[in-house]
Amino acid sequence: MWGQGLNEQNKISYQVQDWLCRKIQLPVKVWREAHSGAVLKVDPEEDAAQSDRKSQAAYVAVPKEGLPGEINVGEPIIPDQLDHAVAHFKGSKVDLVLMDGCINDFNFRKFINPTMTEKEIDDRAKEKCYDRMALFLPQVAKHFPDARIIVTGYYPVFTEKSARNLLLRFITGFVIPRKKQKWLFPNSNLFRELVATSEQFGTSSNKYLRQSVDEANKSAGGRIVFVPVYGDAISIGGKPAPASRCPEGESGFGSPCSGFAAPTKHSLLWTSLLNSTGRGRLSKFSYVLFVLNFHMLRPNDEVYFDRKKVCKEARLNFFGYMGCRAAAYGHPNRRGVDEYIKRVTAELDRVINMTGWLGARR
């Protein structure tokens, strides 16, 4: 898991490392193969941009300026990351593998398309999140026979309050030509469909990731566990959160205000400077007009300027360069990372307390 848009100390892998160090009172070393945009398998016939991605694979594989992983390219693909990690460890004992996979295989253009039917989304999620992961996970278990393997799930990127945001309406209207004439209206079918599509992706991807884990565990001895971050009931003080407003307490993935371009106070995802001013209407209008102006669509993540630099050095074409700069959109921000950490460390705590895992390392 890479951690798009996050400083090193805020990445999931770093925080899991820190939690384990405190839990078992021993040094914990991290080896990260992940990078933004990695896929399980390249589908060049589906995405013309894959030719651009492939040409940049060598750049991503060789660290430069400390942030090559911020460039959203498909290669090195996840199986190649595994091979590289195996070569690096050369038989050394590995205790924990933390990973995800399949959202990039699903394809962004498909993901943001609200015209997809529920069956089309489910079928595509099965192909990308089960057919591919069920073949890959046994390889991970075979190469790291002593490791516990945690596979994390996905979440709806667009939620109810996302659909009422001007930024999202503009982007969606631009990307989906036949819906252009409807993008200005927040309550049009376009946005109800977009939220429904996003929720269906979260549900279907998690369903098939769980099935791939169950299938792989037949040969892995139960060492692989699926940790979802979406699907549990969202509540405030034990009561269901009202769907018509943003929760006053913590909001998990899938709650009305958790999605991309939802109110900044509650969103769990990186969005734009336009959407994260924290100002009222008149003040925001003046701030956008006189301060942000053309920078208003810039992502509000922590490493934007570093990513912009390496994106430029990668010599992508214009659309690749602009996409690279905006690659943090929709990825977990620090609040979103906290949701992951709570779920992952709860599973690690359970395993340590029940089985004495890592006890031999003391």
Count the neighbouring beta carbons within 10 Å of the beta carbon of residue 240: 10
- What is 8-249+336-361's CATH topology? Rossmann fold (3.40.50)
Of the two residues 248 and 55, the one the predictor is more confident about is: 248
CB 357 within 8 Å of CB 21 = no
Q: Which residues contact 181 (CB under 8 A, 6 or more apart)?
A: none
pLDDT range class, residue 320, cuts 50, 70, 90:
confident
What does the pLDDT read at residue 107?
Answer: 80
What does the pLDDT read at residue 188?
Answer: 61
Q: Is the pLDDT of residue 339 over 60?
A: yes
The 3 state secondary structure assigned to 129-165 is HHHCHHHHHHHHHHHCCCCEEEEECCCCCCCCCHHHC
pLDDT range class, residue 179, cuts 50, 70, 90:
low
- The Cα–Cα gap between 130 and 124 comes to 10
Q: What is the mean pLDDT of residues 242-267?
A: 75
Q: Is the pLDDT of residue 53 over 60?
A: no
What does the pLDDT read at residue 290?
Answer: 56
Q: Could you state, in order of their start, the residue ranges of all structural domains in the chain?
A: 8-249+336-361
Reading across the β-sheet that carries 224-227, which strands appear in turn? Answer: 96-99, 148-152, 224-227
Q: What is the mean pLDDT of residues 325-329?
A: 91
Q: What is the mean pLDDT of residues 237-264?
A: 68
What does the pLDDT read at residue 55?
Answer: 42
pLDDT range class, residue 50, cuts 50, 70, 90:
very low
- Ranking 52-66, 124-138, 307-321, 326-340 by mean pLDDT, the lowest is 52-66
CB 95 within 8 Å of CB 174 = no
Q: Is the pLDDT of residue 160 over 50?
A: yes
Q: Is the pLDDT of residue 16 over 50?
A: yes
Phi-psi region of 251 (alpha: psi -120 to 50; beta: other; left: phi over 0): beta
Q: Is the pLDDT of residue 37 over 60?
A: yes
- The Cα–Cα gap between 347 and 362 comes to 20
What does the pLDDT read at residue 225?
Answer: 97
Written as six digits, the tokens of 22 are 């405190």
What does the pLDDT read at residue 182?
Answer: 55
The torsion angles phi and psi of 99, rounded to 5 degrees, stand at -150, 165
pLDDT range class, residue 314, cuts 50, 70, 90:
confident
Written as six digits, the tokens of 330 are 């929709």
> Residues 66-117: pLDDT tens digits?
347 898 888 889 999 999 999 999 888 999 999 999 999 988 766 667 778 8
Q: Is the pLDDT of residue 64 over 60?
A: no
Written as six digits, the tokens of 314 are 């990668």
Candidates 271, 278, 316; CA nearest to 298 is 271
Q: Is the pLDDT of residue 345 over 80?
A: yes
pTM, 2 dp: 0.86
CB 348 within 8 Å of CB 356 = no
> Residues 191-200: pLDDT tens digits?
778 888 899 9
What is the residue type of 4?
Q
Q: Which residues contact 38 (CB under 8 A, 6 or more apart)?
A: 2, 74, 75, 76, 77, 78, 81, 101, 104
Percent of the chain at pLDDT above 70?
72
Q: Is the pLDDT of residue 306 over 60?
A: yes
Phi-psi region of 55 (alpha: psi -120 to 50; beta: other; left: phi over 0): alpha
Average pLDDT, whole number, for the chain? 81
